[in-house]
Amino acid sequence: MQHIKQIWQLRLAHYSSELQKYMRFIFTGHIAIVIVFLLGAGGYQYSEWLKVVTSDFPVAWVMGGILGFAIAWSHPVTLLKEPDAVYLLPLEEKMPSYFSAANQFTFFSKIMISIALYIAAIPLLKVVSPITIQMIWLGLGIVIVLKYLHVQIEFAYRYVTRGDLIWLDRLLRFIGSGFTVMTYLNGWYYVTVCLFLLQLVYLIWLKKKMYGLPVPYEHFITIEQNRMMRFYRFANYFTDVPHLRGAVRRRQWLDMSYRLVPYQQKKAQHYLVWRTFIRTNDHFYLWLRLTVISALVAAFVDITMVRFIMAGALAFATAIQLQQALTKAGAFRMDMLYPLPDWARKQAATSVVRLIIILQAVIVMVSHMWQPYFYITGIIIVTVGFVTQKMMK
């Protein structure tokens, strides 16, 4: 038993060290400024909206949907590694102690999101709902208990079924937890108790089915590998992650975009760079995420200066990261065999990134055409992007 606890503690210490190593690159000074602007703008917009929100706003349904999703999304964090499928087999009878510590860590690492969402909605509850302040804070306790329950349920379900039809389990738990929160906020307490008991019975049933089953090491190891790979891909936007394996996808629906590059020998690098951008998940989804964030901020934030600052900051992030990524050379590339000058790759990357920035500017402008000075946002994106490229030379 003590040996199993030491294994978990060592894994947790290594995991914490790995997170800290990359977090210091992610949360740098300029990212902190962007987060402060986002929180400030979001808080201001929220407070202004509270002044005009009507009493018939379906706050219970909205909170039920949002919190139901946050509660149901409770995939386990086991910190298992590939060799564990062999080396931990002799300790299988003692693994419940390991998984108990893992589930506790999963709960404490994920509960803050649900708590933050609930606390953020308290001012809205005070304005719209007749529920008392004591009952509001009791609702926070219900959210915490529900989250703990769903962490245990998802782990037990995966243990029993090896993750088969996990989407159905999550859908049912989303409905159950969402309706539990909704009925409580509406004052239907008897229904709330019944829904809570149904979820508790579901957990007890899964726990009974776990007895006697072998530990699904392969399934939990796959979950852990996928979870860490998502973190490494995110960290790779801010710093190089040496052991990251980039994924490639054809994206057939964008094949027609290759026609934008003229069929000429001197444009060979332009074609290769454009194809690299379209097919490489890290590059394509980086641009897509930053563009969507910029468009959403422009569409829903009424503070003109905040829109301009956010558009400029995200255009800078797009230009600097994609310019570096598309120019970066490996030990050997097939295009090195082409009869093209060495500077052709960098020139092609610059042209492609400029086109990408212009496309980002157009999308962001379209997202808030009804707001005044929407065209200035596009000008800022193009100017910041082009200047960033110029400075990188």
Q: Say whether both 296 and 216 belong to one domain.
A: no
pLDDT at site 106: 95
Q: Which of 193-197, 209-213, 340-344 is least confident?
A: 340-344
What is the tens place of the pLDDT at every residue in 328-350? 755 445 556 566 666 677 788 88
pLDDT at site 240: 66
Q: What is the 3-state secondary structure (H, E, C) of the chain?
A: CHHHHHHHHHHHHHHHHHHHHHHHHHCCHHHHHHHHHHHHHHHHHHHHHHHHCCCCCCHHHHHHHHHHHHHHCCCCCCCCCCCHHHHCHHHHHHHHHHHHHHHHHHHHHHHHHHHHHHHHHHHHHHHHCCCCHHHHHHHHHHHHHHHHHHHHHHHHHHHHHCCCCHHHHHHHHHHHHHHHHHHHHCCCHHHHHHHHHHHHHHHHHHHHHHCCCCCCHHHHHHHHHHHHHHHHHHHCCCCCCCCCCCCECCCHHHHHHHHHCCCCHHHHHHHHHHHHHHHEHHHHHHHHHHHHHHHHHHHHCCCHHHHHHHHHHHHHHHHHHHHHHHHCCCCCCHHHHCCCCCCHHHHHHHHHHHHHHHHHHHHHHHHCCCCCCHHHHHHHHHHHHHHHHHHHC
Domains of the chain: total: 2
pLDDT at 29 over 60: no
**Mean model confidence pLDDT for the chain:** 85
Q: Which of 28-37, 167-176, 271-280, 305-314 is least confident?
A: 28-37
| Domain-located, residue 125 | yes
**Which of 208, 234, 260 represents a domain boundary (last residue)?**
234
Q: How confident is the model at residue 235 (pLDDT cuts 50, 70, 90)?
A: confident
**Which of 201, 234, 267 represents a domain boundary (last residue)?**
234
What is the tens place of the pLDDT at every residue in 47-62? 888 888 888 888 899 9
Share of residues in the chain with pLDDT > 70 (%): 90
Q: Which of 64-73, 259-268, 354-363 is least confident?
A: 259-268
| Domain-located, residue 244 | no
What is the tens place of the pLDDT at every residue in 107-139? 999 999 999 999 999 999 888 888 888 999 999
pLDDT at 250 over 80: no
Q: Say whether both 150 and 260 belong to one domain.
A: no
What pTM was estimated for this model as a whole?
A: 0.73
Q: Say whether both 106 and 181 belong to one domain.
A: yes
Region 163-185: mean pLDDT is 93
Q: Say whether both 299 and 223 belong to one domain.
A: no
| Domain-located, residue 27 | yes
Q: Say whether both 138 and 273 belong to one domain.
A: no
Q: Say whether both 261 and 150 belong to one domain.
A: no
pLDDT at 374 over 90: no
pLDDT at site 190: 93
| Domain-located, residue 242 | no
pLDDT at 387 over 60: yes
pLDDT at site 42: 77
Region 225-254: mean pLDDT is 74
Q: Say whether both 294 and 228 belong to one domain.
A: no
What is the tens place of the pLDDT at every residue in 171-180? 999 999 999 9
| Domain-located, residue 240 | no
| Domain-located, residue 245 | no
Q: Say whether both 185 and 274 belong to one domain.
A: no
Q: How confident is the model at residue 90 (pLDDT cuts 50, 70, 90)?
A: confident
pLDDT at site 393: 62
Q: How confident is the model at residue 99 (pLDDT cuts 50, 70, 90)?
A: very high
pLDDT at site 369: 87
Q: Say whether both 64 and 160 belong to one domain.
A: yes
| Domain-located, residue 309 | yes
pLDDT at site 142: 94
pLDDT at 16 over 60: yes
Structural domain that includes position 358 = 252-329+339-392
**Which of 234, 267, 282 represents a domain boundary (last residue)?**
234
Greater pLDDT, 20 or 198:
198
pLDDT at 356 over 70: yes
Q: Say whether both 160 and 287 belong to one domain.
A: no
Q: Say whether both 44 and 102 belong to one domain.
A: yes
Q: Say whether both 70 and 164 belong to one domain.
A: yes
Share of residues in the chain with pLDDT > 90 (%): 36
